Amino acid sequence: MPVPLVAPPRFGANYTPSRGWFHHWLDFNPSEVKEDLGKLAELGLDHLRVFALWTLFQPNRTLIRQSALDDLAKMVEIAGDLGLDVSVDGLQGHLSSFDFVPSWAATWHEANLITDPRVIEGQSSYLRAIAERLKSHPNFLGTSIGNEFSQFTWSAHPTRSVATVDQAEEWMRTMIEASAEGAPDAEHHHSEFDASFFDSAHPFTPELAANIGARTTIHSWVFNNTAQTYGGMSEQAFLLPVYLMELGRAYAKDPHRQIWLQEIGAPSPHVSAADAPEFMRRTLDYALDTQDLYGVTWWCSHDVDRALADFPDLEYSLGLLANNNEIKAQGAVFKEFAERRQQLTTPAPRETALILELEDERQGLGRETCKPGGKFFDAWMELAMRGERPTVVLASQAENAGYLAARGITATQSMHHLKTPQNGATVAHA
Amino acid sequence: MPVPLVAPPRFGANYTPSRGWFHHWLDFNPSEVKEDLGKLAELGLDHLRVFALWTLFQPNRTLIRQSALDDLAKMVEIAGDLGLDVSVDGLQGHLSSFDFVPSWAATWHEANLITDPRVIEGQSSYLRAIAERLKSHPNFLGTSIGNEFSQFTWSAHPTRSVATVDQAEEWMRTMIEASAEGAPDAEHHHSEFDASFFDSAHPFTPELAANIGARTTIHSWVFNNTAQTYGGMSEQAFLLPVYLMELGRAYAKDPHRQIWLQEIGAPSPHVSAADAPEFMRRTLDYALDTQDLYGVTWWCSHDVDRALADFPDLEYSLGLLANNNEIKAQGAVFKEFAERRQQLTTPAPRETALILELEDERQGLGRETCKPGGKFFDAWMELAMRGERPTVVLASQAENAGYLAARGITATQSMHHLKTPQNGATVAHA
pLDDT at A126: 98
Distance from CA of A151 to the nearest CA of B (A): 11
Closest CA to A328 of A358, A303, A348, A345: A303
Q: Which amino acid is at A142?
A: G
pTM over 0.80: yes
Cβ partners under 8 Å of residue B234, min gap 6:
B226, B227
For residue A360, the SS3 value is strand
Q: What is the pLDDT of residues B285-297, one digit of tens each?
A: 999 999 999 999 9
pLDDT at residue B424 above 50? no
pLDDT at residue A421 above 80? no
Chain B, window 27-86: residues with a beta carbon less than 8 angstroms from a chain A beta carbon: 27, 55-56, 59-63, 65, 67-68
Q: What ipTM is given for this predicted complex?
A: 0.94
- Answer whether A423 touches B (CB < 8 Å): no
B20/A63 CB distance under 8 A: yes
Which of B27, B55, B63 minimises the CB distance to A67? Answer: B27
Q: What is the pLDDT of residues A243-296, one digit of tens each?
A: 999 999 999 999 999 999 999 999 999 999 999 999 999 999 999 999 999 999
Q: Which amino acid is at A19?
A: R
pLDDT at residue A427 above 50? no
pLDDT at residue A428 above 80? no
pLDDT at B427: 40
| Residue A178 Cα distances to A161, A187, A221, B309, B364, angstroms | 21, 12, 29, 20, 53
Indicate the range of A344-348, B35-39, B407-411, B426-430 predicted with least confidence: B426-430
Averaged pLDDT for residues B107-114 = 97
pLDDT band at A408 (very low <50, low <70, confident <90, very high): very high
Which of B23, B61, B159 minimises the CB distance to A309? Answer: B61
Chain A, window 369-388: residues with a beta carbon less than 8 angstroms from a chain B beta carbon: none
Averaged pLDDT for residues A138-153 = 97
Q: What is the pLDDT of residues A42-87, one digit of tens each?
A: 999 999 999 999 999 999 999 999 999 999 999 999 999 999 999 9
CB contacts, 8 Å: A309 with chain B: 60-62, 104, 122
Q: Could you tell me the maximum CA-CA distance found in chain A, to the nearest angstrom?
A: 66
CB contacts, 8 Å: B304 with chain A: none
A103/B98 CB distance under 8 A: yes
CB contacts, 8 Å: B26 with chain A: 26, 56, 59, 65, 67-68
| CA atoms of B51 and A167, how far apart (whole Å) | 39
Peptide bond into A158 cis (omega under 30): no
For residue A178, the SS3 value is helix
pLDDT band at A157 (very low <50, low <70, confident <90, very high): very high
| CA atoms of A318 and A314, how far apart (whole Å) | 7
Peptide bond into A93 cis (omega under 30): yes
| Residue A383 Cα distances to A233, A290, A402, A412, B345, angstroms | 18, 16, 24, 12, 93
From A312, which residue of chain B is nearest by alpha-carbon distance?
B109
A26/B60 CB distance under 8 A: no
Mean residue pLDDT of chain A comes to: 95
pLDDT at B415: 84
Whether A172 contacts A190, CB under 8 Å:
yes
Averaged pLDDT for residues B210-222 = 98
Which of B23, B61, B110 minimises the CB distance to A60? Answer: B23
